[in-house]
Chains A and B, each alone.
Chain A
Amino acid sequence: MTDHVANGGLAAAEIQRGEASANRAAAERGDAPLLPAERLWGFWEFTYANSALAIATWAFLIGGSVGLFVGPKEGIAAIIIGNIVGVMLTALATTPLSGRYGIEQFVALRSQFGYNGSRVVYMLAVVVLTMGWLAVLAMMFGRSIDGLTALSSGEATNPTGIKMIVAAVGAILVTWFIVAKGPTSIKFFNMVVSPALVILMIVMLYLILQHRSFSELLAMPALSPPFEDNTLNFIIAIEVNLAAGFSWWPYIGNLARLTQNERTAFWPNILGIFGAAALGEIVGLLAAVALGDSDPTIWMTKIAGPVIGIIALLFVAFANMTSMANILYTSIVGLRQVGTASVRAISWGAILFLFCVIPLGLVVFYPQMYDGFFIFLVWTSALNSALAGIGIADYFFLRGQKLDMRSLHGPQENGPYRFWGGFNPIGLFALAVGFAVYVLVFNPQTLASLPAFKYLTASVPSCLAAGAVHYVLTRLFARGRGWGLYP
């Protein structure tokens, strides 16, 4: 009898432990807020994770793009100015609330856009942008392969040729295969790639400084400034870096929710994301200007002969695939989180492949997208800067830094975040206004701009306009209609 009772008690305890473990796993996936005791990262762990994320080959690409517009001295200034403002505003909009409540970023977004509106934002900010990034990184992989085969055979490169396209398609398909296996292999690659990229950066900087002193580098001209007005070129370089800073909007909230508290969620972004990205971009800028090409897959071949060039390109190719796996995995996990039941019913491998179709199309039919990479980057800021403005206005000024976990995670159809059919028209209108302000002030496609652009940039007015519209219209209309549980 005693044994039976004891065994029954043990079995019940076992079941409870299993349930607790399953609940925690579900919370880690974003289905529920992570409790304070369940958070993993302290200050330095999060700083390291952020640095590892920020030091990627895209930093070299962005730095090289800056070198098109301005020389190194102005370029370093533009990198610091753009990235600190962009990262500060993006981190403010996403990380304090994630750090305080352990809430998944796009669940929290229901408080700003409604439960259906947050899905629209997810599609625009994550799905569309990640597809673009996948294509760009795959093209960079393809150009790395084209570059190293040219180096080893002594032939000329063909950056948009069939070899690049085949390699880029291969990169997307291999990435699909890796991610389909799950996150374990991705974690392993991350542990290897990030420290190795730091070493690559240091080696590149050393090799560049072997041929030219730092003061000589600072005095070098830009590669291909589009305008005679140097101030305009400088502001465009700042805008490219604002875009780079704001481009973290889709990703850092969900990393921040793993940290121990609000302060730990915020400040490591400044050290890690801003610090590491700025450093990587500066190396890319100096290399591009010193070696005469903004494309890292080209200047790496010129830096120190074929052997080092081949090793560097092989490594860049590998690092690109790691970045592709990271963003593909994160995007699909989030898509299944915000998606409808029919989206969640699609198998993991199938939904991954469907996601890769558009990037494959871009690689095959629009390979020249890579050379205008900075155009893609600034288009993303038209959206991300507005999202940051709305996030800051909503969480800090409208809600007084208070979110209702019960309503955000409970059934949505009759909850306080249903707004109008699941969409918050005010939040979505504010997003459209921010986007329109951006494009009016500075056209990312043509680089045409209003005179105000030289004093304000485009991301900053977009962020302010979207935040102001969201704040004013919410105050005027939302509470009266019982929308959004605003205090």
Chain B
Amino acid sequence: MSADTKLRLAGVGKRFALKDKAEAVAVQDFSLDIRQGEFLVIVGPSGCGKTTCLRMAAGLEFPGTGIVRVGGKTVTGPGPDRSVVFQQFALFPWKTVAQNIDFGLRSIGIPAAERARRIAHYIELMNLQGYESAFPHQLSGGMQQRVAIARSYVLDPAVLLMDEPFGALDAQTRTVMQEELIKLSRVNPRTVLFITHAVEEAVYLADRVVVMTRRPGRIKEIVDVGSVRRAENWDRHDRVEEVMDQASFVHLRTRIWRLLREQQAEHEH
């Protein structure tokens, strides 16, 4: 394991029991190293086991074969060093915005003054000023997901796990959130494992995109986006659509689309 590998999945396989003693293979022979500070996105057709991979990294599920390691330690269960942003936000409805962000911080035993400082920092960073004592149901979907992202970032985890975090948002809100996440990851570079089925989103956010095959989920190809991003200086654009207009972006997007379409064809024949 190289020194800068933060999250490692090695030879991971996972089966699920179906009715009548049948089994479905969700993930097979899946090996992936996520480097320190890397934004890694897994794309794949629905049911390809990409969420299963994330859950195994989170410690919410365990591999049948192979190992999952974070920072050199085998994952034995969930923990605040691998906080998760869920598609359905998963905010506590009875806690205010500030209390939601504070919840995990309390459990890892951060002193009150430091907690207050960190909460204020992320409230500002995620444009949530004035909503500290609002309950989640009083906020729009986009704002709720900002609270959830703040709640995960504030824990300063070794790896941030994002399970289709923008999947439940409308198209405009989704675009704004993608831009904000890019800005946030520039201010606070973190090791991120991000799951999506949206190809544009993957290319826009990722340093590397892992394309998965249909069930059983394996790695079809790993596409390096980071080198193109840096070479073409995508980061000089503030808006998603400007980046998406770049020939280099279109090229990568089309390449990933083809990889996904090939499997579709294989699947149908």
A and B are interacting partners: no
Interface of B toward A, CB cutoff 8 Å: none
Interface of A toward B, CB cutoff 8 Å: none
